[in-house]
Amino acid sequence: QKEVEQNSGPLSVPEGAIASLNCTYSDRGSQSFFWYRQYSGKSPELIMSIYSNGDKEDGRFTAQLNKASQYVSLLIRDSQPSDSATYLCAAIDSWGKLQFGAGTQVVVTP
C-alpha cells in the first residue's frame, strides 16, 4: 500500500465549476501536507501547504485537512482551462521524507 493514495482520474470539470480532489494517507505520524501542480512534461510546482485540521484558502484554492480521518482535499473554485494539470498530494512521513501520491489528472473543459 502506498503511503499517499489519490484517484488517478481524469477528473473532467466544466469551466467555472469547482474541482474537488481527494487524498488519503496511511502514516498517522504525518503532520505536514502539500499539493503540487504538474503540467504535462513539466516539473511539480507547490501550490498549497496545510499543517492544521480545517480549511486553508489561497485565492481560488482551498486545502482541507482531517487528521482523524487521514484525509486531505483540494478544491479549485471557478476552474479555468489553465488549471488542467496533474495534482500531486504529498505528506511528510514519520521518517521525515516527503512522500507523493500518484496524482490526479484534472481536465477543465471550456
Partner 1 sequence: GAGVSQTPSNKVTEKGKYVELRCDPISGHTALYWYRQSLGQGPEFLIYFQGTGAADDSGLPNDRFFAVRPEGSVSTLKIQRTERGDSAVYLCASSPTAGPGGYTGELFFGEGSRLTVL
Q: Is 103 in the site for partner 1 (CB under 8 A)?
A: yes
Q: Is 99 in the site for partner 1 (CB under 8 A)?
A: yes
Q: Is 13 in the site for partner 1 (CB under 8 A)?
A: no
Residue in 25, 65, 79, 101 binding partner 1, rule: CB under 8 A = 101
Indicate the DSSP class of residue 78: S
Closest to partner 1 by CB, 17 vs 38, is: 38
Q: Is 96 in the site for partner 1 (CB under 8 A)?
A: yes
Strand, helix or coil for residue 42: coil
Q: Is 7 in the site for partner 1 (CB under 8 A)?
A: no
Q: Is 48 in the site for partner 1 (CB under 8 A)?
A: no
Query: CB under 8 Å to 56, separation ≥6 — which residues?
Result: 48, 49, 50, 62, 63, 64, 65
Query: CB under 8 Å to 65, separation ≥6 — which residues?
Result: 33, 50, 51, 52, 53, 54, 56, 71, 72
Enumerate binding residues for partner 1 (CB under 8 A).
4, 8, 32-34, 42-46, 49, 88, 90-92, 95-103
